[in-house]
Every structure is written in structure tokens, then in C-alpha cells.
Amino acid sequence: MSAALEAAARGERGANPLVGAAVLAADGTVVTGWHRGAGTSHAEVDAVQRARTAGIDLSTATMVVTLEPCNHTGRSGPCSQFLLDAGIRRVVHAIDDPNPRASGGAAHLRAHGVEVVSGVRAEEAERLNARWIAAQRAARPYVTLKLAQSLDGRIAAADGTSRWITSAESRAHAHTLRARVDAILVGTGTALADDPRLTARTPDGRPAGAQPRPVVMGFRELAAGSHLARDPRTLHLRTRDPLTALRALAAAGVGHVLVEGGAHIAGAFLAAGLVDELHLYTAPILLGDGLPALAGLDVGTLAEAHRFVTDPAGPAVPARLGPDTFHRLVP
């Protein structure tokens, strides 16, 4: 399980949890695998493929995995049946899958005569995916908040100009995340002020792979002829409540949403405790009396501060992007 937990931390957070697996052969050999992120192979499949390459006899091996093997067909097939077909007869897993659509793998395996041990190092596995688990239990998507700001925490100068505060390197980096999420959300204020497209693009402006769903939240109407009004995929959520918006997104099949602003939307998601991951790009410029990155956060005293730590799991953080600094933080 130590090897599986360590392998899990190599994946990318998002719609799916971090999951690691280890195949323990009868002779003590350990081969690990992990889930890279939504849309890629599950950890068990990765580990079994590597074990086969290593010539391990799976019928006498134990599959150790940080999450209950899934029992559904989502972006990939059910791991429970995959393990049966692979000839695995013993499974040890840390936590049950809190996703009601995917859970039930342990029961399926037991029903087919596989020995299943549950709950091994459950606290560590739970801590690794605490925010993803909370999102599952609340039936809402996983939320990443992106802020691109000046050294003094501004997202626009006093006259409203904001293009561009951060470097081309930062913007290209942010677009790689856009290509991995299911939806990008902004408030109507940002939609009216910036006329964004909310698409994932390569540095030369071409669309980059699967496109996220554009989402705008708030009561004001979009300007006719704006990019978002013209995009037939745009979802307009007429609410001010972040949790109501997130529930609507979950119902629309969104597992991971990137919140991109503006200040009131960012503040509202943070104040509601609904930010699972914070991506902070800081450019070495000062904007003085410009627009603050956050509004309505409702922190009156230091004890109420929203505190974050650098995420020890996931890909190494590129701390510098051109002249900017980048932080990937979790509550």
C-alpha cells in the first residue's frame, strides 16, 4: 500500500481522484501503476499492464489499490471485471469509492470468489483525495480557481485595462489546464467586460483538443454578438449561489470546473469553501489602485483567513513562467 499511495501522488487532480495500484507478486516483486487523470487508464489497468510486461503470474499475485476498483463504464471500463478477466484472486484496497456511479467493485469481486480486504491505510488514502471525496459527497464537480494577478493582488488597472498582466508563458500554461477541464465558468460581469471565448488554445491561437463547456453565472444578459452568446454550447446559470451553480453543472455531466473570475465570483466560491485547488499566477508588476483579485471574501480577522498549502501530490509545480511565479495550492 505504501507503493500504491506513492504512485497515486504522481497523477493529476481533477474530475477523477489520485489513484495508485501495486501488483504484489508471489515472490515479493512489486510493480506499480497509477491513474494520470480523467480520461486516462485507471491505476489497476496500468499496474496490470506493467506486471504482464514484467512476466508476473497474476493468478498468485495481490492487487493493492488506494481506491475500491470501479464497477462502472465511464471514460474507461469497469476495473472489477478487468481484474477478474486478468485472473487476479486477491485484492486489497484502502477506501471505498464515494462515487455512487462507480462503487460496488469490491462486492462484484467478492461475488466472483475473489478475496477482498478493505480499509487498509484508509486515513492516508482519504487525506490524499479529501477535496475530491468532499465534492463527490456534495454531488458537485471538483473546482479549480485560477487567479492571474499583479504583485499587489490586482487583476486590472484603475481604468479597467487588464490585457495582459501575466506573461505569454503563464497564459500558455493556463491553457493546458483549460484543455483538461469539463467546463470554464465566469461571472456575467467578466463576460460583459472581457468578451472571453473560454476555449483551450495553443500559443498560436488554434483550438487545443477537446474543448471545455463555456459557463456564465449571474443574472445579467450576455451581449448579443459576444463570443459566449454566439457559442451554442454556452450554459448560462441564472443564480448567484456557487453551490446551486455547481449542482447544475454536475447535472450537466461536468466533473471538473475551472473558475476564472472575476473578483466577485472568485470571492463567492472561496467564501463558500468550494475551491478545491487554487492556481495562482503572479506577475512582477504593481497596479496600485486597480481592481482587487477578490471581492466579498468576508475575512474580518486573521483567524478567518483562508489558508492554503502547496500540494505535495501531483506534477511538480513550474514555479517560474517567464517573469511570473506560479503556485498550485490546496486548502
Applying CB under 5 A, does 91 fall inside the site for Zn ion? Answer: no
With CB under 5 to 8 Å by kind, the binding choice for 102 among Zn ion, ligand AOF, none is ligand AOF
Applying CB under 5 A, does 70 fall inside the site for Zn ion? Answer: yes
Q: How far is the CB of 204 from ligand AOF (least distance, A)?
A: 31
User: What Rg value do the Cα atoms of the chain yield, rounded?
Assistant: 22
CB atoms within 10 A of CB 298: 11
Q: How far is the CB of 194 from Zn ion (least distance, A)?
A: 39
Applying CB under 5 A, does 38 fall inside the site for Zn ion? Answer: no
Cell of 38: 480523467
Toward Zn ion, which CB reaches closer, 1 or 79?
A: 79
Contacts 24+ apart (CB under 8 A), 1-5: 1/64, 1/66, 1/92, 1/94, 1/120, 1/121, 2/121, 3/30, 3/32, 3/64, 4/32, 4/43, 4/64, 4/65, 4/66, 4/94, 5/66, 5/94, 5/121, 5/124, 5/125, 5/128
With CB under 5 to 8 Å by kind, the binding choice for 233 among Zn ion, ligand AOF, none is none
Toward Zn ion, which CB reaches closer, 103 or 199?
A: 103
Using a 10 angstrom Cβ sphere, with 0-12 exposed, 13-18 middle and 19 or more buried, the burial of residue 295 is middle
With CB under 5 to 8 Å by kind, the binding choice for 178 among ligand AOF, Zn ion, none is none
Toward Zn ion, which CB reaches closer, 72 or 247?
A: 72
Q: How far is the CB of 70 from Zn ion (least distance, A)?
A: 3
Apex 295 CA angle, 189 and 215, nearest 5: 40
Applying CB under 5 A, does 184 fall inside the site for Zn ion? Answer: no
Helix (H, G, I), strand (E, B) or coil at 115: strand
According to DSSP, residue 70 is labeled: P
> Catalytic positions, please?
44
Applying CB under 5 A, does 42 fall inside the site for Zn ion? Answer: yes
Residue 197 — left, alpha, or beta (φ > 0 → left; ψ -120 to 50 → alpha)?
alpha
Cell of 261: 473570475
Toward ligand AOF, which CB reaches closer, 75 or 320?
A: 75
Q: How far is the CB of 103 from Zn ion (least distance, A)?
A: 11
Choose the binding region for Zn ion from 68-76, 128-136, 137-145, 310-318 (rule: CB under 5 A): 68-76
Toward Zn ion, which CB reaches closer, 76 or 226?
A: 76
Number of residues binding to Zn ion, judged by CB under 5 A: 3
With CB under 5 to 8 Å by kind, the binding choice for 16 among Zn ion, ligand AOF, none is ligand AOF
CB atoms within 10 A of CB 39: 13
* Nearest to 15, CA basis, from 136, 178, 123: 136
| Residue ranges in contact with ligand AOF by CB under 6 A | 16-17, 19, 35, 38, 42-44, 67, 69-70, 74-76, 79, 97, 99, 102
Applying CB under 5 A, does 79 fall inside the site for Zn ion? Answer: yes
Q: Which residues would be at the binding site for Zn ion (CB under 5 A)?
A: 42, 70, 79
